[in-house]
Structure 1
């Protein structure tokens, strides 16, 4: 039993490391290209939502779900940065941009998760 717990922790840890490093790379790339709007976080959260939807739809193994779902997607997606960036837009007097960012993140995030699920389940 202990080996199953250790394996689960190892899978989540490896996936989390890869997800966090990927998030950092994508965020830095987007920030250099588009410094005035949080495209990086939007892209990260949309692709992470798609990945989680796909994993759920494909009914992958528990090990794959631990590695890619809890680990990679958990380290890759970021609610805290999303919230900080939306607040920064609002505090900077960019209310329209803040509302658009919130709308796109929630609406497209749901659509991405659904699309991933549909693709993963073969619907």
Structure 2
């Protein structure tokens, strides 16, 4: 864990802002150009962000970079609060089965993607 400093806090905030901007652009492009619905776009963004977080976890060994890329960029890019709102909206629209699949699928897929990203850079034990 890196030492908490005002400069690190500023870096995490800036990286989070870049992640949020990347999420906004990605979401906008998916919805406008590909005509994706809100839950599908949110799902793809969260899965991609989870994979990136896994990659950064497996690839980056420096704690400062973990903070900047993981908590900062990936924290700004992923949008689990929006996923929860999408699930509530589906539930209220009486599409409860879809809400449940979306909600639980989101957790499972994102966990698998994060693990897959991290495992790409794990060195196998030598025999």
Is TM (by shorter chain) over 0.5?
yes
CA RMSD across the alignment? 1.7
TM-score of the superposition, structure 2-length normalised? 0.83
Contact 1:59–1:121 (CA<8 Å) still a contact in 2?
Answer: no
Question: Is the counterpart of residue 105 in structure 1 residue 88 in structure 2?
Answer: no
Q: For this pair of structures, how many residues does the alignment match?
A: 119
More helix by share: 1
Cα distance in 2 for partners of 1:26, 1:95 equals 27
Secondary structure in 1 aligned to 2:61? Answer: coil
Separation in 2 of the partners of 1:9 and 1:100? 36
Question: What are structure 2's unaligned runs of at least 5 residues?
Answer: none
Q: Is the 8 A contact 1:53 1:114 kept in 2?
A: yes
SS in 1 for 2:73: helix
Unaligned runs of 5+ in 1: none
Q: Which runs of 4+ in 1 moved over 3 A?
A: none
